[in-house]
């Protein structure tokens, strides 16, 4: 039976897995790498780290799964979206990649909207407003602030597409990831020449666009030798991490929604036609399913807020967990369960990296509001988890406003592995939530795309139907649902009350630098 590799170039590390044609997982491996923040609000990585991690994990998977090179029938790619890799004419990286959570480009976003003729016209061209995380403003930032690098740039690639270049020598991307550059005509699934002209960005800087399951290149001899694979192995388009993760979770039909609580939080809805929020609160991108689209709300620091708490305030839990050989998150969750729903009036705003949906505000910041002498660590931890879940509900409410049916919510990410957090999400969303047998995320979706694109299945939907099944379901508890229904409007009002103060705070920080 044929075997397919899925490679996911994530923010904290690269994960590779091997999957049989029937969806059975053979082996997986992850290699981590650092992220740098040379200035406040900046976020960068070295693309060479992605490549080294790819080589390391592919070799580990092949060995662990006892897989022969000739068994690999296809390779799928996924990765963090929106990042910018700038290459010179020799294919060398000119500077560290600027990542999806980088916030330096507020001025460039304003410039893009102005040059496009206004926010509404920009949304009309590329289905989305200009946000600091997207690729296009990063390109303008480089041109303005580092012209010596921009002048040498001959190709701009997204993170997974840089790994594709190293694998195949091809400059290529695919529709789901390209949608997040702000330079794709999402309706027609091709680069938006009118906007490129307005921004004075040459189309030659951008790679060829494929559908996600389409073969985009073949493994070249040098990379095949390095990876102990067979030269000529097909590499399909793949998908941005959220689209690939949706494929890996079976979000390929109308009415099935995913809520992924990872470092960032994502609410993802499949759409058979192009649907755009006129206010631009959610993204409308091409799906990794051919000729389909998706609507996506993004919370920048969802599980990342709990990770921040663990790293900065959870030293006792880390030490205790080490002694009994468990995960610190297990101890933190146990504590959180001791506090009641609503945390007795304590709210946490999870805007540690600014926020995307629904506020599109890079100046937003995290905050505890309502602290009193009654509150202890249990309340603090639970409020962080509730804050991330409230922010995810913000995304769900917009999907509902757009008349996109929500018949089923599939949970994934760290927030799905915790029974306590699954119940909290069900209570706070006020809906039944389910999990599936596919827990490997974007890497699994990338492998399914490879299987669909190389003939193992007739298409992506067939691949998902054959391999992905629901395994758990959680219904809301009446009393907790009642409390969260009363508390949720307050969560939204708190941001509105602080919005101007967040902007003033950023001006104050700039003046003090």
* Catalytic residue positions, numbered: 241
| Orientation of helix 241-248 relative to helix 460-467, angle to 10° | 50
Cβ–Cβ under 8 Å, residues 358 and 395: yes
Q: Is the dihedral of CA 304, 310, 311, 312 positive or negative?
A: positive
CA atoms within 13 A on the CB side of 513: 8
Cβ–Cβ under 8 Å, residues 499 and 361: yes
Cβ–Cβ under 8 Å, residues 444 and 411: no
Q: What angle do CA 218, 221, 224 make, to 5 degrees?
A: 80
Cβ–Cβ under 8 Å, residues 230 and 58: no
CA distances 482 to 303, 378, 478, 486, 487, Å, are 24, 21, 6, 6, 9
The CA distance from 390 to 301, in Å, is 12
Cross-strand bridge partners of residue 257: 269, 409
| Token pair 């976003």 in the structure block, residue | 109
| Orientation of helix 106-116 relative to helix 135-145, angle to 10° | 110
DSSP 8-state secondary structure symbol assigned to residue 337 = T
Residue 255: Cβ within 10 Å count: 12
């Amino acid at each position: 039976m044929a075997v397919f590799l899925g490679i996911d170039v994530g923010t904290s590390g690269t994960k590779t897995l091997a999957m049989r044609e029937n969806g059975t997982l053979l082996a997986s491996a992850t290699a981590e790498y650092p992220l740098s923040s040379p200035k406040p609000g900046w976020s960068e990585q070295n693309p060479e780290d992605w490549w080294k991690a790819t080589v390391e994990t592919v070799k580990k998977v092949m060995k662990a799964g006892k897989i022969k090179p000739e068994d690999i029938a296809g390779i799928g790619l996924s990765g963090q979206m929106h990042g910018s890799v700038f290459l010179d004419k020799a294919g060398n990286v000119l500077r560290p990649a600027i990542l999806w959570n980088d916030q330096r480009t507020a001025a460039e976003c304003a410039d893009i909207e102005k040059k496009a003729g206004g926010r509404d016209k920009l949304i009309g061209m590329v289905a989305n407003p200009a946000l600091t995380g997207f690729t296009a403003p990063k390109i303008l930032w480089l041109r303005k602030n580092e012209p010596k690098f921009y002048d040498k740039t001959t190709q701009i690639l997204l993170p997974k597409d840089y790994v594709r270049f190293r694998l195949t020598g091809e400059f290529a991307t695919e529709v789901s990831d390209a949608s997040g550059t702000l330079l794709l005509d999402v309706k027609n699934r091709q680069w938006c020449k009118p906007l490129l002209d307005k921004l004075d960005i040459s189309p030659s800087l951008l790679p060829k666009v494929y559908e996600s399951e389409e073969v985009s290149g073949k493994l070249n001899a040098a990379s095949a030798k390095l990876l102990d694979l067979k030269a000529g192995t097909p590499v399909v388009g793949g998908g941005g991490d959220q689209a690939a993760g949706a494929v890996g979770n079976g979000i390929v039909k109308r009415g099935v929604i995913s809520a992924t609580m990872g470092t960032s939080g994502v609410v993802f809805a499949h759409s058979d036609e192009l649907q755009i929020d006129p206010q631009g609160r959610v993204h409308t991108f091409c799906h990794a399913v051919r000729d389909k689209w998706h609507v996506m709300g993004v919370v920048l620091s969802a599980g990342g807020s709990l990770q921040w708490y663990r790293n900065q305030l959870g030293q006792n839990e880390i030490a205790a967990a080490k002694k009994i050989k468990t995960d610190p998150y297990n101890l933190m969750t146990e504590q959180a369960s001791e506090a009641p729903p609503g945390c007795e009036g304590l709210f946490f705003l999870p805007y540690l990296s600014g926020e995307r949906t629904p506020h599109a505000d890079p100046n937003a910041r995290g905050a505890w509001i309502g602290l009193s002498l009654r509150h202890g660590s249990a309340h603090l931890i639970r409020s962080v988890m509730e804050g991330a879940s409230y922010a995810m509900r913000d995304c769900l409410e917009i999907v509902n406003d757009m008349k996109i049916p929500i018949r089923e919510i599939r949970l994934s990410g760290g927030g799905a592995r915790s029974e306590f957090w699954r119940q909290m999400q069900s209570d706070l969303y006020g809906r039944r939530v389910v999990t599936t047998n596919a827990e490997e995320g974007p890497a699994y979706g990338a492998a399914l795309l490879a299987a669909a694109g190389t003939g193992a299945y007739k298409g992506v939907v067939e691949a998902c139907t054959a391999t992905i099944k629901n395994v758990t379901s959680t219904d809301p508890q009446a009393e907790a649902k009642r409390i969260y229904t009363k508390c949720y409007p307050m969560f939204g009002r708190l941001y509105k009350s602080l919005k101007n103060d967040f902007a003033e705070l950023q001006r104050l920080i700039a003046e003090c630098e």
